[in-house]
Amino acid sequence: MAKRWRGLLAGWLALPVLAAGYHSSSQDIGPWGDGASQDGVAPRFIRFVAKQAGLTLTQDVRPLPRAIEELRNGRNALALVTASPERARFAVELCRPVSIRISVLYHRRGQVSPIGPQWFRLRSLGVLRGTHTLDGFVAESGATPVEVSDMPQGFRMLQAGRLDAMMCVRPGCGHALRQMGESLPNLAEYVHGDEPMALYVSKRSELARDVVMLGKLKTACLSAAGKREMAGLMTIYD
């Protein structure tokens, strides 16, 4: 009997381990994700793409640095974040469904003619925590970056005089400004440029080795239905 049980145990241990379900974490930066509601553009679009591809996954919204770290180590299998060469080293890019517009808002203070990056030298600039989209601008202008948790916080600091300027990310910036009402008059905008958002699969996730599923996800992302879904989300969230 003992030999029989040992044989059964050995057989169970030899069975392949079933893969745990895939998980997707989105950044807690509006409108891409909101930690309080666990909703936003990114989780909704990822959910749409996954459904179209027939992929089952769990989702949450986390601070951006944590979402990126888990994309690096494989716990975050699928994420929609700003495209960058650094992220391409540890994640497979499937598509670029949308771009964001990056600009800097500042008090006009009598300024009439357009300003250049040099105007921001040694001035405090609110930057969303965990982002690197303004690294080049900060280096060029000599501005002093101040990390903020989200755009509403940055605009409140701009209103209180604790910042000279604040980064503005569209979509999302318009909604954040409307929340401030009429308390931020006479703002001027310096446009930095557009940055693509990419749908990434972690290279350390089992999902990255499922070639068939990667193809389905990419097709869903680039499809006409995918474009309509993203356009609708942009309308809702800005």
Give the pLDDT mean for 15-38: 77
Window from 38-52, 159-173, 176-190, 212-226 with minimum mean pLDDT: 176-190
* Of residues 175 and 198, more confidently modeled: 198
Share of the chain above pLDDT 90, in %: 60
At residue 182 the predicted structure's pLDDT band, cuts being 50, 70 and 90, is: low
State yes or no: pLDDT of 43 exceeds 80. yes
State yes or no: pLDDT of 5 exceeds 80. no
100-195: CATH, from 3.50.50.60, 3.40.50.2300, 3.40.190.10, 2.60.40.420:
3.40.190.10
Relative orientation angle of helices 211-222 and 41-53, to the nearest 10 degrees: 120
Window from 12-26, 69-83, 92-106, 134-148 with minimum mean pLDDT: 12-26
Domains 24-99+196-237 and 100-195 share a fold: yes
- Name the residue ranges covered by the structural domains of the chain: 24-99+196-237, 100-195
Give the pLDDT mean for 32-50: 93
At residue 11 the predicted structure's pLDDT band, cuts being 50, 70 and 90, is: very low
- What's the predicted TM-score (pTM) here? 0.74
> pLDDT by residue (tens digit) across 87-118?
999 999 999 999 988 999 998 776 655 678 88
- The pLDDT of residue 111 is 65
State yes or no: pLDDT of 183 exceeds 70. no
- The pLDDT of residue 110 is 62
Block residue for tokens 């080049």: 136
CATH of domain 24-99+196-237: 3.40.190.10
Give the pLDDT mean for 64-81: 96
State yes or no: pLDDT of 156 exceeds 70. yes
User: Considering only CA atoms, which of 221, 235, 232, 224 is closest in space to residue 48?
Assistant: 221
- The pLDDT of residue 133 is 84
State yes or no: pLDDT of 1 exceeds 50. no
State yes or no: pLDDT of 6 exceeds 90. no
When the pLDDT of each residue in the chain is averaged and rounded to a whole number, the result is: 87
CA–CA distance from 187 to each of 29, 106, 116, 197 (Å)?
22, 6, 16, 27
Pairing assessment for the beta strands 22-27 and 57-62 based on DSSP bridges:
parallel
Give the pLDDT mean for 37-58: 96
User: Considering only CA atoms, which of 36, 48, 102, 43 is closest in space to residue 67?
Assistant: 43
Q: Quick check: 128 and 148 in contact, CB under 8 A? A: yes
